[in-house]
Amino acid sequence: MNLGLALLLTTMLGLGPAVVLGGEAAGLAAEAPVAAAGDAQASDASILEMLQVMDAEQLVAGLKEQVNAMVSASMQQALRGKKITPDVQAVIGRMQTKMLATADQMLSWDVLKPIYLRTYRQSFTQDEMDSIIAFYKTPGGQALIKKMPTVMKNAFGEILAMIAPMQQKFQQIQREALDELNALPATPATPKT
């Protein structure tokens, strides 16, 4: 899975980029204080209530459908205009089946639920979680829950459209830097002492 897709998935699931980036980003998230000393972390019961109010399990099911559609579309785009033999088509079909099964397994509620619990527990106090739950129960909160996946999908679609030109610019910058490096005079090797 590429980084862009991983960010899209975690954003659509409400987890945010630190969960998927790991390394420095996750370290920064872990170093940020959750609450002042004495503030209680959000309880698992309140996080589960919030997930229920958000209808998170249904959002995950919808997300899996979107991932399946993206995998299928990517395969079709990669093969567009190419003549494919039946043997090659069979291999590609098996690969796609395995990719979809992997996505279904990795995006299962049983896998994601502990991630939700851990990340929300680390990120919110009980008072904050109570406020979030109260908001999500309002008409505005319910509208946010229902519309945010579409908002994020549309925004990310526009962002993805910018990636190809950005990659082309990066490649041009790399070529220019390599040309500069190749134009530098050769330096003699430093003798070892």
For 84-130, write each residue's pLDDT tens digit: 889 988 988 898 899 889 988 988 999 999 999 999 999 999 999 99
Q: Tell me the torsion sign for CA atoms 13, 17, 18, 19.
A: positive
Q: What is the pLDDT of residue 60?
A: 85
**Length of the chain in terms of residues written:** 193
- 172 lies in some domain: no
Q: What is the pLDDT of residue 193?
A: 66
| Partner residues linked to 125 by β-bridges | 41
* 18 vs 95: which has the higher pLDDT: 95
Domain span including residue 111: 40-153
- 188 lies in some domain: no
Q: What is the pLDDT of residue 38?
A: 62
Q: What is the pLDDT of residue 4?
A: 47
Continuous H helices in 34-85: 44-54, 56-79
- 6 lies in some domain: no
Considering its fold, how many domains does the chain have in total?
A: 1
- 35 lies in some domain: no
- 159 lies in some domain: no
- 29 lies in some domain: no
For residue 190, the number of C-alpha atoms closer than 13 Å in the C-beta half-sphere is: 2
Continuous H helices in 80-125: 86-106, 109-123
- 95 lies in some domain: yes
Q: What is the pLDDT of residue 35?
A: 53
44 and 87 Cβ atoms separated by less than 8 Å: no
Beta carbons within 10 angstroms of residue 42's beta carbon: 25
Q: What is the pLDDT of residue 98?
A: 92
Mean pLDDT of 13-24: 40
Q: What is the pLDDT of residue 15?
A: 43
**Confidence bin at 20 (pLDDT 50/70/90):** very low
Residue whose tokens read 């004495």: 38
**Confidence bin at 9 (pLDDT 50/70/90):** low
72 and 157 Cβ atoms separated by less than 8 Å: no
* 18 vs 121: which has the higher pLDDT: 121
Instruction: Provide the whole-model pTM.
Output: 0.60
75 and 159 Cβ atoms separated by less than 8 Å: no
For residue 152, what are its two tokens? 């994020």
Beta carbons within 10 angstroms of residue 136's beta carbon: 19
- 180 lies in some domain: no
Which residues, 6+ apart, have CB-to-CB distance to 19 below 8 Å? 10, 26, 115, 119
For 24-81, write each residue's pLDDT tens digit: 344 444 445 555 556 899 999 999 999 999 989 888 888 888 888 888 888 888 888 8
Q: What is the pLDDT of residue 136?
A: 95
Q: What is the pLDDT of residue 34?
A: 55
Q: Which amino acid is at 137?
A: K
